[in-house]
Structure 1
Amino acid sequence: MSIQTFLETFKANPATQLSAMQQERPIWWVMVGAAVFLILSAIFYFQLFLAMDPCELCVYIRFSQCCIVIAGLIILIDPKNNILKFLGLLLAWYAIIQGWAWSYELMHIHNAAHMVVDESMDFFAAAGDAAGAACSTDPRFPLNLPLDEWLPFEFAPTGGCGEDDWSLLGMNMAHYCLIAYTCFMIALAPLTFGWLRTFVGNNKQTQVVAQ
């Protein structure tokens, strides 16, 4: 099917197309690929190339992105299996919402740590060392998973929250993480709707046949 044909079909009946799309593998590979890209960008570009050590919130955000990858892989086992789809979507929504919350917290810490009172002030002075006070070198992952012990390079926090000076187009890493998670939400919401529509429709058909 060409892109033009797909768009025309989608425009004519978007609900049906969403229901069909969420049962195919390509869209879930896109979700997995996007999360893997974010993880690899954090490790190879920021941590290795720019030598920016991850903070406590940074490793939590990485954890949420790994959860998105796992959620996608669960769904990819069989996109038409309702149990796998439910488990995958549940994990994906948890990871996206929690990742958005961690990014939002990191954004506020970064803004506070870089607040400018006057040109002569010391770095972090205006925030009362907000970055150091907000971070811990002993992370607490969900389910008490010792990820910092299993994979210390990826999940052991060695930097302070908010102390990075990296920016692109006036936005820092926390801003871009917020944008990424918002995109995940926007993309996952219609797919979740498509699955629920298919699930409810199949149950109604089963009830009719049973009668």
Structure 2
Amino acid sequence: MSSLTMQWSNLKSNPTQTLIEWQNQRWIWFLMSGAALFLILSAMGYFQWFLEMDPCEICVYIRFSQVCILISGLIIAIKPNNLTLKVIGMALAWYAVIQGMAWSIELAVLHDASHVLDNVMAEGGDLFAAGGGGGACSTEPKFPLGLPMHIWFPYEFQPSGICGEDDWSLLGLNMAQYCIIAYGCFISALGAVTYGWVRSLIKK
């Protein structure tokens, strides 16, 4: 605990130098990979297995981005001061967090559209006049680079649910909104260590 307190104290007193040091240490990249792994296991273990919520097309894309975050952290953690590994890992990490945020926002829009349609139908309204089909998505996913993730790992990446149809919520927020929060945290943290990395390159 004292070590964590000291690290936080260093960050407050000298943020730039602290970030320069952190980005060159393995623990920060293992922490990023661990956070991504936690989200992946939560999706598969709690939502898919325990709650029996089938993943939709956008859901498996979000999982894919989290796998990319996990891998990028492990790549950098091999040797954080290696420029080649750092460039590859950083490029993959930034792709993953930006694309993951975009998919999370798309899922949130589909969720809102789907539940608006549910309310219209419950009140006896016209589905087509309300813009029906807001929750439609494919069961044949198209992953980047044509990767057949749904064939290699069907349990994790084969969509079988309908986009935006879940009714799960916690503290008034749905799954898509929590994904947006998670990616916001990833982007903020990655931005901080990227800043530290760039400053370390400038100092050389």
- In the superposition, the TM-score normalised over structure 2's length comes to 0.92
The answer for the alignment partner of 2:132 in structure 1 is 128
Q: Can you give the 5+ residue segments of structure 2 that lack an aligned partner in the other structure?
A: none
**1:93 is aligned to 2:94:** yes
The answer for the alignment partner of 1:57 in structure 2 is 58
The answer for the alignment partner of 2:49 in structure 1 is 48
Q: Report the Cα distance in structure 2 between the residues aligned to 1:3 and 1:44, rounded to whole angstroms.
A: 30
Structure 1 residues 188, 62: CA separation in 2 closer, same or farther (over 3 Å shift)? same
* 1:110 partner letter: H
Instruction: Report SS of the residue matched to 1:131.
Output: coil
Alpha-carbon offset, residue 201 of structure 1: 1.5
The answer for the alignment partner of 1:206 in structure 2 is none
Q: Report the Cα distance in structure 1 between the residues aligned to 2:41 and 2:9, rounded to whole angstroms.
A: 36
Which of 178, 181, 185 aligns to 2:180? It is 178
Alpha-carbon offset, residue 28 of structure 1: 0.9
Which of 141, 148, 151 aligns to 1:149? It is 151
* 2:144 partner letter: P
**Retained in 2: the 8 A contact 1:52–1:159?**
yes
**1:84 is aligned to 2:88:** no
The answer for the alignment partner of 1:36 in structure 2 is 37
Instruction: Report SS of the residue matched to 1:186.
Output: helix
Which of 166, 174, 184 aligns to 1:164? It is 166
* 2:91 partner letter: L
Q: How many residues align?
A: 199
The answer for the alignment partner of 2:191 in structure 1 is 189
- Cα RMSD (Å): 1.6
Alpha-carbon offset, residue 71 of structure 1: 0.2
Alpha-carbon offset, residue 127 of structure 1: 4.7
Deviation digits for residues 24-62 of structure 1, max 9, x if unmatched?
A: 111111101100000000001111111111110000000
**Retained in 2: the 8 A contact 1:113–1:127?**
no
Q: Report the Cα distance in structure 2 between the residues aligned to 1:174 and 1:29, rounded to whole angstroms.
A: 25
Structure 1 residues 25, 137: CA separation in 2 closer, same or farther (over 3 Å shift)? same
Alpha-carbon offset, residue 171 of structure 1: 1.2
* 1:72 partner letter: G
Deviates further, 11-20 or 28-37: 11-20
Instruction: Report SS of the residue matched to 1:23.
Output: coil
Percent sequence identity over aligned pairs: 55
* 1:47 partner letter: Q
Q: Report the Cα distance in structure 2 between the residues aligned to 1:190 and 1:27, rounded to whole angstroms.
A: 11
- In the superposition, the TM-score normalised over structure 1's length comes to 0.89
Deviation digits for residues 85-131 of structure 1, max 9, x if unmatched?
A: 11111100100000000010010011011013474348x77451321
Give 1 or 2 for the bigger CA radius of gyration: 1
Instruction: Report SS of the residue matched to 1:130.
Output: coil
Alpha-carbon offset, residue 8 of structure 1: 3.0
